Structure formats: structure tokens, C-alpha cells
Structure 1
Amino acid sequence: MADSVADVDAQEGNSSSLQTAKDLFSGAAGGIAQVLIGQPFDIVKVRLQTSTAYPTALSAATSIYRHEGALAFYKGTLTPLLGIGACVSIQFGAFHAARRYLEDHRHPSLAGTPLSYSQYYLAGAFAGVANSVLSGPIEHVRIRLQTQPHGAGRLYAGPWDCVRQLRGHGALYRGQAVTVLREAQAYGLWFLAFEWMMNADAARTGTARKKIASWKVALYGGLAGEALWLGSYPLDVVKSKMQTDGFGKGQRYKTMRDCFAQTFRAEGVRGFWKGIGPTLLRAMPVSAGTFAVVEATMRAIN
């Protein structure tokens, strides 16, 4: 997240390895909260991105509820519940490790001052790239489960069956190049936006960062979530299209570049923003909840 946690975690006596363990544990708690809050929004987003059957987010949500039931909004939840906890754990562990590295390798005259915003972006981008190793296949499986037919037409018995079939096609890491780009941009912006708001609040009120109220941490986290998606959404659309594509002769998109080109030819610029409404609606509570839970966990274990 950011230095509201960083300041709490910098207490005397904390070794670097112990602090990294705390970062990872807090991130895992935040990841579980993220999945439970955001999964219903996410399935609507994926259906809008990968299908032309729904004109609006409301129609998609209504159709899912009517034809598949309320539990359908949590289709494919097991994979992200296990995996996203690990992903968010990596995000915060990698971000704080990169932040500490940058702080330790700058001019001594800058000791005790915040990093530049470009450095926060770089630390966040590093966290995103590190996270992509897990998030690529986890999101691929989740998207396949979210978009498969309902009832007798199901393609996968569950997440592990989906993994087995994708591996059989050699496609578990399909869309990984665009996933890496999306993660770097998204988390660079996420941490950058959060840092900017936290630093501005601390400067305006004269309050130590670790004393900033939890509701403000959640608010700034939610707004950072909006920045994350506004800055990376077209990459996410391409990723979703590639990860719901067919196999063999049924495969439409050969490469990331081909997917960009086909999307633009068929749908224009608007095609890269399908589903942005429910995504932004989801981003505020999900990101706020993630930051709030990570913050609360970090303060508790310290």
C-alpha cells in the first residue's frame, strides 16, 4: 500500500525479514477482503468485456441472477480466494521491499524524506510485475470459470479441472505479455496515487502518516483504485479477450498485438472501455477494503 503502513512498519527493532513477513501477511488478509467484496462486480465486468449479449451492466447482472441464481455471482471464487490472497501479499511485500531498496540507495542528504513520485511508481510497477507470475494463470482460470455456460453445458468441473485442460492446450499462461504490462501500469498508478493523497493529507494537517485516520486511509485507497483502472483498463480488456479465446482452429487472437488490432477494427476505441462502469463501481469498495484491512492488520501485528 503505502507509507501509512510503511511508517507503522518502520518501528525500531523490526528486522528487514520480519517486516517483509508482516507485509506479506497483511497483504494476504487484504487480498481475501478484496475477493469477497469484488467478485460479484468482477463477473459482470468479464461478461461485458467478452460478450455482446449484454447492452449494460445492469442487464448483465439481471441476466446472471435470473438464469443462474445469486450464487453465480461467486462463480470461480475458490481460485481467486486462494490465489488473490497470495497475489496481494506479493504486491505489498514487493512494493515495500522495492521502497526500502530505493530509500537505502539514494543520496544521504535525502534520508528521512519521502521518495519521489516516479520512484513510488517504479516500486509499484515492480510489485505488479512480481505479482503477474501468479495473477496471470489465476485470472485466466477465474475468467474461464466465469464465462463458461451454465448447467449441462459446463466446460470445467472446477478450478483444478480448468487448470488441467488449459495445461493440456499449453495455454495456462495465455495473455501473459499483456498481463505483465497491465500489472506494471496498474500497480504503479495504484501506489503512486495513494502516496500522493497520503502525503498531501499529512502536509495539509501536519499529522504523522501513521496517525492519519483509518477512514481516510480507506478513502484514499478507494480513489487509488479508480486511478488504477482508468490507467490500465484497455490492457485488461485485451487480456480478458485473449483468456476467453478458443483453442486450435477456434482461436481468434494470435498475439496481443493482433487482439488490439481486431478489437479496434471491430469496435473502435469504445471497445477498449466496455465494462468500465461496473469496474469503477467495484474499484472504490474493493480498493478501500484492501487498504483498510492491510492497514488494520499491520497496526495490529505491530
Structure 2
Amino acid sequence: MEPASRERLKSGTTVAPVTPSPVVLPPKTARMEAVEDIVYGSTAGVVGKYIEYPFDTVKVRLQAQPDHLPLRYTGPLDCFRQSIRADGFLGLYRGISAPLVGAALETSSLFFWERIGREAVYASGLAPREAQLPLSALWLSGAFSGACTSLVLTPIELVKCKIQVPETEAGGVVKAPLKPIPVIKDIWRHQGLRGFWHGQLGTLIREAGGCAAWFGSKETTTALLRQWNERAVASDADELARMREEPLPLWQQAVAGASAGMSYNFLFFPADTVKSRMQTTPIGGTEQNRTFAAETRALWRQAGIKGFYRGCGITVLRSAPSSAFIFIVFDGLKKYFPMQ
């Protein structure tokens, strides 16, 4: 102990404890924000894809049943049974390599463009930077994000859908499972570069509308849960102030993320069904050049409104845990591992 400190103790003077100054991190640059969106969004997307992929395979197979043949599957459970009987459980993960890349690109792109959309709202002067954006602006930035992401996503989903749905030859014999590289070569040979965006209109409608619902529902549910939490401690000013600084409890974050996934998948499911049918037509076949409108009319004639919702239940069901994990992983990484 220093001599001066010993003298103060002898004289009875109280020594105030030394409080270390808090470490103040510099504000993130736009470049680091973008890097976080890409790296953490990719990680969250891969986690979500492993959870949802078997259900997505079943969904695509239900959607892709041709309109000139009897239905091959009576429902999701029957599709699960037939698929596992034919290929085993791992067959439900057929073609996951391309979707994993797609999930990483899709999720990182969604978070990246959503942040760009929010920045555009601030730059336009519609909301001051120090204020939180209204929910309407968050829904709008979500739609902008989905529209931009659809351009990245359509080629990846085209390859994924063709791999997920087994092709049959005359006599009902199933061809050998397709691989990504042969599918890509086939598309290029028959349709050129333009062919990779077959089904783009369906992806655009699904992503623009669905992502408005994805981000918007998550933020809306978060705001409602936060209001509910604050009402419970309204009489305690200190606890109320602390709660406003803290993120929601983990289970409430999961509820908000689950509501986002369910809204995304349910509201624009018919557009996804038409897109899947367009993207699973045989390459070089007579139906491969059907437009979005023509495919919609063909499905309506075959099955009516029910045909547009084949596989909807299982899709909404699997989207709840998948979307919850995506938001929890992304928000958790941004909070605990900030990049500077």
C-alpha cells in the first residue's frame, strides 16, 4: 500500500473505491455492419436449413404433382412414408448442398438488404435517426429486402427443386437422383443463362410479400411482448428502465421468430406453389416454358383453390422452429460477438 493511502487509513479518512471506467466501443462502420449481416446471416441460415429441409422436400413433392396424372401422395404423412420407404430418411436431405449455399446467401442477403432499406427510410427523412422506425416502415423495408433477395434466390431454388422431386421414366421407373452440377449443365444447354431465372415472378411475389411479413411480424410480435412485459412491472420504475434496455427473454424471442416464419409461409403460399410447379417441369419438356399465369390457370383447372395450398400445413409447421432459430442465432451473434 502507498504511504499516502496508509496515512488516510490512520486518520480515519474513508477511501472511495476506484471504479474502472466502462469500455466504450466505437460505433460500427457501415462496412462492419455489412460484414456482420453476411457472416451471421449465413450462419443462421445454415442452422435453419438443417432443421427445415426434410419438411421442405415433402412440401416441394406435394406441390409438384403433375396435373395430367393421379395424385401420387395423399398428404404430408403419406409423402413422408413413401419417401422414407424409397430412399431412407437421408433421402429427405437429397440435394441439400445447393440449398445450404442458398440458405446462407438468402438469409445474409435478407438481413443485409433489410438494413439497407431501413437506412433508405432514414435518409429520406421519413424518420429521424435517433427514433425507432414505425412498424409500417419495417414492413416496407422487409418487402424491399425480399424483392432484392429474390434475384439471388431463384437460380438456387430452381436447382434445389429439380433435385428434390424424383423424375420418372415410362412405366413409373424412377431415374437416378440428380446432382447439382448435371442439373446446372442441363439448364444451361436447353435454356441458357435466362433459364436459371425460370419462376422468377413467383419467387418475387413470395419473397417481397413474405419478407414484409417475416420482418414485420417479428417486430410487431416483439413490440406486443415488450408492452406486455412492461405492464407487469409498471409500478417499479427501476425495473421498467432495466427491462427497456434488455432484450426479450429467450422464449419470447423464439415466439416472435416463430410468428415471423409462419406469416412468411402462409400469406404467399400460392405463389410458392406455382413457382415450384414451374421449376420442377422436366428440362426440355413441353411444359418447361409455361408462364406464371399459364401455370396458375392449369393448377386451378386441375385442383381449384385446394391445389394452391398443397403442403401448406407442413410448411407453416416447420417454419416456426426454423425461423425462431434463425432470429435467435443472428441476434445472439450480433449481441455477443460484435465486429469492430
| In 2: Cα distance, 1:111 partner to 1:103 partner | 6
Q: Distance in 1 between matches of 2:258 and 2:126?
A: 33
Q: Relative to 1, partners in 2 of residues 1:75 and 1:247: Cα closer, same or farther, differing over 3 Å?
A: closer
Distance 1:200 1:213 in 2: 13
Equivalent position of 1:183 in the other structure: 207
Contact 1:202 1:209 survives alignment (8 Å): no
Q: Find the residue that maps to 1:172 and give its secondary structure.
A: helix
Unaligned runs of 5+ in 1: 1-10
Q: For 1:250, what is the secondary structure of its paired residue?
A: coil
Q: Would the alpha carbon gap of residues 199 and 152 (structure 1) be closer, same or farther in structure 2, given more than 3 Å must change?
A: closer
- After TM superposition, the structure 1 = structure 2 runs for residues 53-64 of structure 1, keeping only pairs within 5 Å, are 53-64=72-83
Q: Does 1:153 align with 2:175?
A: yes
Q: What code does the residue aligned with 1:154 have?
A: A
Would you say the 8 A contact 1:20–1:97 is kept in 2?
no
Aligned to 2:294: 258
Question: 1:281 and 1:168, CA in 2 relative to 1: closer, same or farther beyond 3 A?
Answer: same
Say if 2:186 and 2:283, in contact at 8 Å, map to a contact too: no
Aligned pair partner of 2:196 in 160, 169, 172: 172
Q: Counterparts of 1:137-286 in structure 2 under 5 Å?
A: 137-149=155-167, 153-154=175-176, 156=178, 158-170=179-191, 171-206=195-230, 207-208=243-244, 210-251=246-287, 254-286=290-322
Question: Could you tell me how far apart the structure 2 residues matched to 1:133 and 1:191 are?
Answer: 19
Name the CA distance, whole Å, in 1 between partners of 2:285 and 2:54: 32
1:219 Cα shift?
1.6
Match for residue 43 of structure 1?
Answer: 57
Between Structure 1 and Structure 2, the one with more helix by share is 1
**Distance of aligned partners of 1:262 and 1:210 in 2 relative to their CA distance in 1, 3 Å threshold:** farther
Instruction: Confirm whether residue 288 of structure 1 aligns to residue 324 of structure 2.
Output: yes
In the alignment, what sits opposite 1:4?
Answer: none
Deviation at 1:214, TM superposition (A): 2.4
Q: Does the C-alpha gap of structure 1 residues 250 and 210 become closer, same or farther in structure 2, counting only changes over 3 Å?
A: farther
Q: Which has the higher contact order (CA 8 A, sep 6+)?
A: 1
Moved more, 179-188 or 17-26: 17-26
Query: What's the secondary structure of 2:281's corresponding residue?
Result: coil
User: Quick one: which amino acid aligns to residue 184 of structure 2?
Assistant: V
Tell which structure's C-alpha radius of gyration is larger. 2
Shift of the 101–252 alpha-carbon distance from structure 1 to 2, 3 Å rule, reads closer
Q: TM-score, normalised by structure 1?
A: 0.90
* CA distance in 2: counterparts of 1:76 and 1:48, whole angstroms: 17
Count how many residue pairs are aligned between Structure 1 and Structure 2.
290
Secondary structure of 1:299's match?
Answer: helix
- Check conservation: 1:87, 1:134, Cα contact below 8 A: yes
Give the match's secondary structure for 1:13. Answer: coil
Alignment RMSD (CA, Å)? 1.9
Counterpart position of 2:107: 88
Moved more, 206-215 or 279-288: 206-215
CA distance 1:155–1:204, change in 2 (3 Å): closer
CA distance in 1, matches of 2:180, 2:307: 29
Structure 1 position 210, deviation (Å): 4.7
Change over 3 Å in CA distance of 1:209–1:194 after alignment to 2: farther
Which whole-Å CA distance do the structure 2 matches of 1:155 and 1:70 have between them?
15
Quote the offset at 1:152 in angstroms.
6.8
Cα offset, 1:250, TM superposition:
2.3
Shift of 1:201: 2.1
Give the distance between the partners of 1:281 and 1:154, measured in 2 at CA: 30
Indicate if the aligned counterparts of 1:253 and 1:259 stay in contact, CA closer than 8 A.
no
Asked if 1:113 corresponds to 2:137, the answer is no
Secondary structure in structure 1 of the residue aligned to 2:324: helix
Identity %: 27
Paired AA for residue 177 in structure 1? L
Gaps of 5+ in 2: 1-24, 66-70, 231-242
CA distance in 2, matches of 1:122, 1:181: 14
Deviation >6 Å, runs of 4+? none
Check conservation: 1:125, 1:186, Cα contact below 8 A.
yes
- The aligned residue for residue 35 of structure 2 is 21
2:48, 2:322 within 8 Å by CA — same for their partners in 1?
Answer: yes
Q: Distance in 2 between the 1:114 and 1:154 partners?
A: 53
Letter in 2 for 1:135: L
**One-letter code aligned to 2:119:** R
Looking at structure 2, the residues matched to 245 and 279 of structure 1 have their Cα atoms a distance apart, in angstroms, of: 21
Cα deviation for residue 111 of structure 1 reads: 4.5
